[in-house]
A = this chain, B = another copy of it.
Amino acid sequence: MNDVISADSTLPSAAALAALKAIVGSKGWIDEPDRLEPYLTEERGRFRGRCAAVVRPASTAEVAAVVRICAEARIPIVPQGGNTGLVGGAVPAGGIVIAADRLNRIRELDAINRTVTVEAGVILSDLQAAAAAAGALFPLSLAAEGSCRIGGNLATNAGGIQVLRYGNARDLVLGLEVVLTDGRVWDGLTALRKNNTGYDLKQLFLGSEGTLGIITAAVLKLFPQPKVTETALAAVPSVAAAVDLYRRMGDAAGDALTAFELMARLPVEMCLAHIPGVVDPFDAPHPYYVLMKLTSPRPGDPLREAIESVLGEAFEAETVIDAVIASNEAQAAQLWRMRESIPEAQKSEGGSIKNDISVPISRVPEFIDRASAVATAALPGIRVCAFGHIGDGNIHFNLSQPPGADRATFLADWNRIEGLVSAVAHELGGSFSAEHGVGLLKRGSVQKFKSAVEIDLMRRIKRALDPDGIMNPGKVLPPG
Contacts and interface: CB of A to CB of B under 8 A. Distances in A.
Contact of A453 (B186, B247, B296, B298): B186
A113 B434 contact: no
Contacts of A446: 197-198
A256 interface: yes
Q: Considering residues A112, A389, A438, which has the most beta carbons from chain B within 10 angstroms of its beta carbon?
A: A112
A110 B191 CA distance: 34
Contacts of A463: 464
B198 A445 contact: no
Interface string A422-460: 000000011111111110001001100111011001101
B194 A159 contact: yes
B358 A192 contact: yes
Contacts of A250: 114, 224
Interface in A199-250: 199-201, 203-204, 206-208, 212, 223-224, 243, 246-247, 250
Contacts of A302: 302
Q: Considering residues A191, A243, A457, which has the most beta carbons from chain B within 10 angstroms of its beta carbon?
A: A457
B392 A194 contact: yes
Given A197-B446, A458-B198, A465-B457, A362 B112 contact: yes
Interface stretch (A124-132, A163-171, A276-284, A311-319): A163-171
B198 A476 contact: yes
Given A185-B453, A186-B454, A193-B163, A298 B157 contact: no
5 contacts: A191-B429, A193-B393, A199-B458, A252-B299, A461-B461
A395 to B, nearest CB: 10
A241 to B, nearest CB: 13
Nearest to A156: B196
Given A199-B204, A200-B207, A460-B464, A431 B192 contact: yes
B196 A207 contact: yes
A168 B194 contact: yes
Closest 4 CB pairs of A and B: A203-B203, A464-B464, A254-B297, A112-B362
Contacts of A469: none
Contact of A198 (B112, B186, B450, B465): B450
A435 B135 CA distance: 30
B196 A437 contact: yes
A78 to B, nearest CB: 18
A115 interface: yes
B190 A457 contact: no
A97 interface: no
A434 B204 contact: no
Given A171-B171, A192-B393, A224 B200 contact: no
Nearest to A111: B247
A254 B362 contact: no
A201 B298 contact: no
Contacts of A120: none
Contact of A394 (B194, B306, B432): B194
